[in-house]
Amino acid sequence: MVDPQKLYDAVLNGDQKTAIAVTEQALAEGMAPLDLISNYMVPAMDEVGRRFECEDYFVPELLLSARAMKGSLNLLRPLLTASGVEPVGRVAIGTVKGDLHDIGKNIVASMLEGGGFEVIDLGADVSPEKFIDAVREKGAKIVALSALLTVTMPSMRKTIDALKDAGVREQVKVIVGGAPVTQQFASEIGADGYSDNANAAVALARRLTAERAPL
């Protein structure tokens, strides 16, 4: 009988091989995919985020844990979809137009996946139109904008304005982040939230999703 706590440990320690093996064995023994995610994988990624904030973990550890978590998720996601289980929320994330940096965006995307969100990763240098399409065609309820250069920060404002012009701004919550971005700037451009690190971004996405729940 598999000990599912080993899945928690594998994700926490960035051991992808063990994470996949434990997941396969747990599924073979009839454990529910949602239980594995909710009780072991999400708590593990929450602890990874906490350690990152405390500077006990750094980017390499964060990426290894995200890789281990994704290995398990690749096995579980098709089963969840087939059973009709909905994700916590659906997030479209991308680095804004003109900015090719994606490391920070990739970390946030991985942490969001680890937090139970379905992530639509649009990549880098993303036009406002692609974010609009993600809302209209894929049902994204949160749009996450990243910018790593001061000169590309205005693209965040342009994207939010484009969402308004397209008539979909009221359907989504917009969160922003990146090295040069501040809370003041986020407020100025009309974003719904700002985060300066990946763990806080997950907490913010959860809060905004919960605010939408009664609608």
Confidence at residue 214, expressed as pLDDT on a 0 to 100 scale: 44
What ranges do the domains of the chain cover?
5-82, 90-212
Confidence at residue 130, expressed as pLDDT on a 0 to 100 scale: 98
Query: Measured between alpha carbons, how far is 197 from 200 in angstroms, rounded to an integer?
Result: 6
Q: Which CATH architecture has domain 90-212?
A: 3-Layer(aba) Sandwich (3.40)
Confidence at residue 14, expressed as pLDDT on a 0 to 100 scale: 97
Q: Answer whether 5-82 and 90-212 agree in fold.
A: no
* CATH number of this structure's domain 5-82, picked from the four choices 3.40.390.30, 3.40.1180.10, 1.10.1240.10, 3.30.70.120: 1.10.1240.10
* Per-10-residue mean pLDDT, the chain, length 215: 95 97 97 93 92 91 92 91 87 97 91 91 98 97 97 98 98 96 97 93 94 57
Max Cα-Cα span within the chain: 56
Confidence at residue 136, expressed as pLDDT on a 0 to 100 scale: 97
